[in-house]
Structure 1
Amino acid sequence: MNRLNRRGLLLGADVAGYGKGDSSRQFAVQGAFLQLVSEAAACARLDRDTWLRQPSGDGELAVIPDDGSEPQVVDDFVRHLNVLLGRHNEGTDPSFRLRLRVAVHFGMTSPAANGIAGKAVVEVSRMLDSAVLHEALQTTPDANLALMVSQRVYEDTVEYGLTTYAGDDFRQVTVRHKEFEQSAWIHVPRAAVEGPADAGPADPRGAAPRQVVVNQFWETVQADGSVIGISNNR
């Protein structure tokens, strides 16, 4: 067995309408895309240096280590990216807005001579290129991105209650593209410029800060209506 094979979360992202721009527009789009994705990852406390990345000019395919960060990618990263895209697009001519299709899957991959190989790579690429995901973004002109997650990712994160999404935030679809045909789930968030999209230092462990409650009582304490012992330290 190839020791380079690894199981991980696959994140595909693609800029809508990239081919319609001239070379100067494409140059600007590529730079903005990388900046916004990197900033969204930092906001979500994801370490981009650990991602195995395959650039495609107008997008990227990345394999994220299987370290428990799946809910962060599906939830935190996508929400931050949506806000950052909204700020980038604010006041911009509609024909020059930066809008993304995003697909998330899970499976085995391995580095190859010209990128990343594996069945899961093909599958997430089919999801990203599918007509149903294109249509989801096209029919919601105010949206900055459209997200598609595979059936397994949906079950393991959204359905299992590991994200902040509501049950009706996603709709189930059937993806048919070339030889690929599987169920998936689509979410098109509302355009936003407000939200917690302020980058902080990336945690190399990929974990978001958690609130810790510490209560120590040495004798009777009268504290009706009070909150005691709230700490943001780990």
Structure 2
Amino acid sequence: MKPRTQVYSILVVDIERFGRRANPVQIWLRERLYEIVGKAFSESGIDTDNGPKPSDRGDGFFWLLSGTDRTALTGRFVDVLDQKLRSHARTSNEEGALRLRVALHQGDVTDDGAGWVGEELNTACRLVDIEPLRTALASGPRAGLALAVSGEWHRQVVRHEDSSVASDTFRCVPFDAKEIQGEQAWISVPGYDAPPGISGTRAEDTSRGAATGRDAGTARADGGAAQGAAGNTRGGRGGGAAPAGQGPLAGARFDRVNQVFGGDQIVHGGQTFQWGPDPEEPAARDGGDGNGA
């Protein structure tokens, strides 16, 4: 029989500092974990009865969720889970502390008869272990959990700014782990405006960087044509130059490293362009024939 493959939302949770506790405490923490997560699902309106049961990982589990509202999972569920973990903390000492690293991802996962397998499942399990997520949780003592979502999850769910998801609290960090290189993860810690203890990029800053690249491409195309028409090239060919301080590139700043524009010029750093005659060659430009003679 061919193994069954299906697209799931993938939830992975790990208990912080689990291995440092004695065996009886670990057993008790695992019981509390399943109880708290189950109640958080129920109270956030997410039905898990018709899908696979959670798969244990010792210090946590992964749970494959089929047909789940991903916005509710990212927003309401995470909020309720954090509240319940904080309630647990109010009646527990350090030995019984139950704080979680949580990861959300999605994709194809296959049941091969012996268990679950798939690249996207591997990605989710790598995501919950990245160092920025560990640091954010350790640096946020008020929180019960720290959440990491994949770049795909952020793009499809978080960035749309649903009122139930605190999208402005997410920060982008590099996601490099074993076979995963050059990806992005987005981290949020409930109760904090930004994840503590780490340096990350805001969504609007990420978008602005992409827009800057597009704008530079426009300037490259338009500026090159305008420059040739005005005759304000280094060789002096053309019918004249616009007055100083005027022209399509006047005052423009180009900060893209190795940005090519105007046909044959490369900028290796930030530059400001002033439209007008070349101050180094006033005689050649004034009254000349345009070829420097």
Pairwise TM-score range, normalised by the shorter structure: 0.7 to 0.9
Amino acid of the structure 2 residue aligned with 1:64: L
* 1:7 aligned onto 2:28: no
Instruction: Name the counterpart of 1:63.
Output: 64
Amino acid of the structure 1 residue aligned with 2:191: R
Unaligned runs of at least 5 residues, structure 2: 193-293
1:56 & 1:170 partners in 2: Cα distance?
A: 27
What TM-score comes out, normalization by structure 1 length?
0.76
Identity over aligned pairs, percent: 27
Amino acid of the structure 2 residue aligned with 1:97: A
Deviates more, 1:114-123 or 1:158-167: 158-167
1:64 & 1:90 partners in 2: Cα distance?
A: 30
2:76 & 2:114 partners in 1: Cα distance?
A: 31
The residue matched to 1:154 in structure 2 has which SS? helix
Distance change in 2, residues 1:174/1:105 (3 Å): same
The residue matched to 1:126 in structure 2 has which SS? helix
Instruction: Name the counterpart of 1:152.
Output: 152
2:161 & 2:134 partners in 1: Cα distance?
A: 27
The residue matched to 1:5 in structure 2 has which SS? strand
Q: In 1, are the aligned partners of 2:3 and 2:112 still within 8 Å (CA)?
A: no
User: What is the alpha-carbon root mean square deviation over aligned residues?
Assistant: 1.8
Distance change in 2, residues 1:103/1:163 (3 Å): farther
2:3 & 2:72 partners in 1: Cα distance?
A: 27
The residue matched to 1:48 in structure 2 has which SS? coil
Instruction: Name the counterpart of 1:186.
Output: 187
Q: In 1, are the aligned partners of 2:13 and 2:102 still within 8 Å (CA)?
A: yes
Unaligned runs of at least 5 residues, structure 1: 192-234
**Greater relative CO (CA pairs within 8 A, separation 6+):** 1
Give the deviation of 1:162 after TM superposition.
3.3
Aligned residues: 190
Instruction: Name the counterpart of 2:20.
Output: 20
Find runs of 4+ consecutive structure 1 residues off by over 4 angstroms.
none
The residue matched to 2:141 in structure 1 has which SS? coil
Matches within 5 A, 1:1-234: 2=2, 4-52=4-52, 53-65=54-66, 67-181=67-181, 182-190=183-191
The residue matched to 1:49 in structure 2 has which SS? coil
Larger radius of gyration: 2
Amino acid of the structure 1 residue aligned with 2:56: P
Q: In 2, are the aligned partners of 1:29 and 1:58 still within 8 Å (CA)?
A: no
Give the deviation of 1:93 after TM superposition.
1.8
Distance change in 2, residues 1:103/1:158 (3 Å): same
